[in-house]
Amino acid sequence: MKTLSWQTRLKNPYMVGVYLATNAVKDAVLVVDGPDCLFFKGEYVHGTHDLHSTLLDPAGNHRIAHTLADTVNVVMDREPQLRDLMARVAQRDGVKAVLVSALPMASITGSQYDRLAGEVSEIVGVPIMEVPAKSLQTDWLDGYSEVLNSLARGLPFESGQTKKGSVAIVGPLVHRLEGDVMADLAELTRLCEEYLDLSVVSIWPSGSGVEDLAKIALAETIIALPAGVKAGKILSRRLDAKLVHVPQPFGTAATGDFLNLIAQATGRSELAKKAIAAGNALVHDTVKNVIPAGTRLALVAEPGVLAEFAGFAKDIGAIPAAGISSANPPFNELPGLEVMENAGQVDLCITNSRGAEACIDRKIPFMEFGYPSYGTHYLTHSPTLGYFGVINMTDRIANALRWWAAATSLQPTTTGPSTSA
């Protein structure tokens, strides 16, 4: 049987990223100019990848709405319909922001979504923001970032006194509202508050609502992770706040860089030095000798995590055998798809569900990680970032290696307790 290529399996479209970011702002609704398949694509997130998603609602109060544009009506004047839909959605109970986007079949007709959004927003008194229609140009991470960019441009902020020692974190990849991602947000907060004596006043996004996003106006410093680089710049200019770009703190080296860069921007270098020494010691003492020496790992993930994979593998005594990007740009610092074409070249592939399908075809042991993860869910905290993230990931990898070793070595047996006299 011919198997699908890795490239085909790993593709996630632009609108999926838009859905993920919308899912992470609980009182925002997404209006998309396009056909009804847009509604069903919400199931790429709701109830499959994210058990806590609120994108879809049994009572019909869905956070995804569409215009039912098709090949016939798409060329007609649909401005009245678009205005009406935006207004009706914006006036629903509990809605604090509306995002408006489109599929290419609708956007090429020249509809001015930004103008319509502004006009309707003035009438209903709710922020309505356009998310650029880029489905044919970019991928899911761009869709996610574009939502943050639109919120950064369009949300109103009350000018006021910033809080001394306060920071906001922009751009964590909140791909679901389960225990793994929520634990990562808690770890990002802990690194800033417990180690650097800072106050995190807002995280963009965090699964909370627009009110919490607006608290970014209190921040002296904005910390921009890879998915929040552009949004961080927009917010920094709007709020006249200091901006610092940091890596995804995946592994001890990246976590140290994360702490050092924030500490330099906020005058806390001595605190960072002590924190890094303590964090490195904690990880070393906890994970040493847990992973068998020479274990070859492959990782399928977004570029921000892949960039730190070699350091993470070193933390746990493993070999980074391959790295494959689930988004643009491609990752070329490690061998990639060629290593994954046949079993025996890696001991475990850490991958999303799409990559897991390819691993099954090739009899490669795998562990689910990232978006999408349809078969692995977390109701309790299970971080992947920061020092506790290294420890928790080591735990998961060790268990996965032992499970696969047992699964492949089990043989039917007829032996058992003797029943002879």
> Which backbone phi and psi does 325 adopt, to 5 degrees?
-85, 135
| Percent of the chain surpassing pLDDT 70 | 95
Residue, of 5 and 14, whose pLDDT is higher: 14
79 CB neighbour count, 10 Å cutoff? 13
Separation CA 317–CA 322 (nearest Å)? 15
**pLDDT for residue 410:** 66
Residue, of 231 and 414, whose pLDDT is higher: 231
Separation CA 316–CA 393 (nearest Å)? 9
Hey, is 205 helix, strand or coil?
coil
pLDDT exceeds cutoff 90 at 136? no
**pLDDT for residue 418:** 39
pLDDT exceeds cutoff 80 at 149? yes
Domains and CATH numbers, the chain: 13-154 (3.40.50.1980), 166-286 (3.40.50.1980), 296-404 (3.40.50.1980)
**pLDDT for residue 330:** 79
What are the pLDDT digits (tens) for 374-402?
Answer: 999 999 999 999 999 999 999 999 999 99
Residue 142 — pLDDT band, cuts 50, 70, 90?
A: very high
Residue 419 — pLDDT band, cuts 50, 70, 90?
A: very low
**pLDDT for residue 297:** 97
DSSP 4: P
Burial 167-203 (b: 16+ CB within 10 A, else e): bbbbbbbbbbbbbbbbbbbbbbbebbeebbebbbbbb
Q: Which of 39-48, 214-223, 280-289 has the lowest mean pLDDT?
A: 39-48
Parallel, antiparallel, or unpaired for β 128-130 and 97-102?
A: parallel
Residue 420 — pLDDT band, cuts 50, 70, 90?
A: very low
Hey, is 340 helix, strand or coil?
helix
For 119-180, the DSSP string reads HHHHHH-S-EEE----TTT-BHHHHHHHHHHHHHHHS-----PPPTTEEEEE------SSHH
Closest CA to 260 of 279, 250, 246, 248: 246
